[in-house]
Amino acid sequence: MASTVTQEPPPAASGRPGAPLIVTEDAVLLDDLLRLCAAAGATPEVHHGIPEPRGSWEAAPLVLVGDDAARRVRGAARRRGVVLVGRDQDDSGVWRRAVEIGADHVLVLPDGEQWLVDRIADVAEGVGRPALTVGVIGGRGGAGASTLACALAVTSAREGLRTLLVDADPLGGGLDVVLGGESAEGLRWPAFAASRGRVGGGALEESLPRLHDLRVLSWDRGDCIAVPPQAVRAVLAAARRRGGTVVVDLPRRIDDGVAEVLAQLDLCLLVVPAELRAVAAAARVASAVSMVLGDLRLAVRGPYASGLDGGEMARLLGLPLAGEVPNEPALRRRDAPPGAAARGPLARFCRDFWERALMEVGA
């Protein structure tokens, strides 16, 4: 059981990231806390009372105070990120002791173990602002959504941002193929099918193929064509905790796994060719996506059919217009991924998109 006394504290700006401080003389409680730190990938500093000198008390990103040590830390400087940890769920005095030491949370083991592992893992990873997460979905088959998703990711990486490209379409053939890395070493989606709870963001990033200065989570060429929704949720949450940008190539069918992805997107681009039949098909896709996601924008791919322009398509679909996705002749080259030509029209579109989107996040 974990209960809040005051506000949720972020990791401290100073101190060693990933090194929580444990204060307790209870050997059994200490064993439990060390086990939970190990599960979260953190190596703690351990003291029986307020550390002397007190620099580690003030600098640690997270302080875990055993209920047995509450009296010994009463005189410590008040700070955020203090958790009072006990074992007796029937001890009502724990709340008074938490207030006395300025704790943000009261946690009782074993019920609160998963919550505590998540908090320790957050400070171990140095969690900051989550990644700007953008989905790309086609209004109809062959709209060019996968091409745009790859171009957005390649452009983001070229601009120096930590970038992860996620292939959420198991029937799409694999985005690693589009990027020319189908034989690159690293894990694909089937390896994460059994994931439950929390996935470490750093471990996820290091396990994936690195192509064109970005990480790619794609499908392999095996028989697995589905990953449980809870695994999708855990993996995407881990990717977002690393910061930078995450680009997700989405299928046009909305199942439980895709719904998990949509719930974590900041915005989504609906790619629609400029033709009337494509508008009709895209309207159905937009309706399904909008049931889960609030920020859906239109990206039009020309050339325009007679009587249509970007503004008219946006009006027909009832969506804000993100712009026109240009064609790029260089895409015919097998060794050049979408967006690789830094001065090409597709890269310029992607660069302008990221500039606007990142400004919105900053605002």
Claim to verify: residue 61 and residue 196 sit in the same structural domain: no
Claim to verify: residue 242 and residue 330 sit in the same structural domain: yes
Q: Please tell me the pTM assigned to this model.
A: 0.74
- Domain interval for residue 186: 132-362
Averaged pLDDT for residues 288-306: 89
11 confidence band (pLDDT: 50, 70, 90): very low
Claim to verify: residue 151 and residue 118 sit in the same structural domain: no
Q: What is the DSSP string of 68-123?
A: GGTGGGTTSPP-S-EEEEES-TT-THHHHHHHHHT-SEEEETTTTHHHHHHHHHHH
Claim to verify: residue 184 and residue 271 sit in the same structural domain: yes
Claim to verify: residue 194 and residue 311 sit in the same structural domain: yes
8 confidence band (pLDDT: 50, 70, 90): very low
Claim to verify: residue 46 and residue 161 sit in the same structural domain: no
Claim to verify: residue 174 and residue 295 sit in the same structural domain: yes
Q: How many domains does the chain have?
A: 2
**Residue where a domain stops, chosen among 75, 92, 125:** 125
**pLDDT at site 10:** 38
86 confidence band (pLDDT: 50, 70, 90): very high
Claim to verify: residue 168 and residue 119 sit in the same structural domain: no
**pLDDT at site 201:** 84
**pLDDT at site 118:** 82
CATH number at residue 179: 3.40.50.300
What number of helices (H) and strands (E) belong to the chain? 12, 14
CATH number at residue 96: 3.40.50.2300
**pLDDT at site 127:** 62
CA–CA distance, 63 with 53 (Å, rounded to integer): 16
Claim to verify: residue 82 and residue 117 sit in the same structural domain: yes
Claim to verify: residue 116 and residue 179 sit in the same structural domain: no
Claim to verify: residue 55 and residue 114 sit in the same structural domain: yes
Claim to verify: residue 138 and residue 93 sit in the same structural domain: no
**pLDDT at site 70:** 95
Structure tokens at 21: 């401080």
Digit-coded pLDDT (tens) for 211-246: 999 999 999 888 888 889 999 998 998 899 888 999
334 confidence band (pLDDT: 50, 70, 90): low
50 confidence band (pLDDT: 50, 70, 90): confident
**pLDDT at site 137:** 98
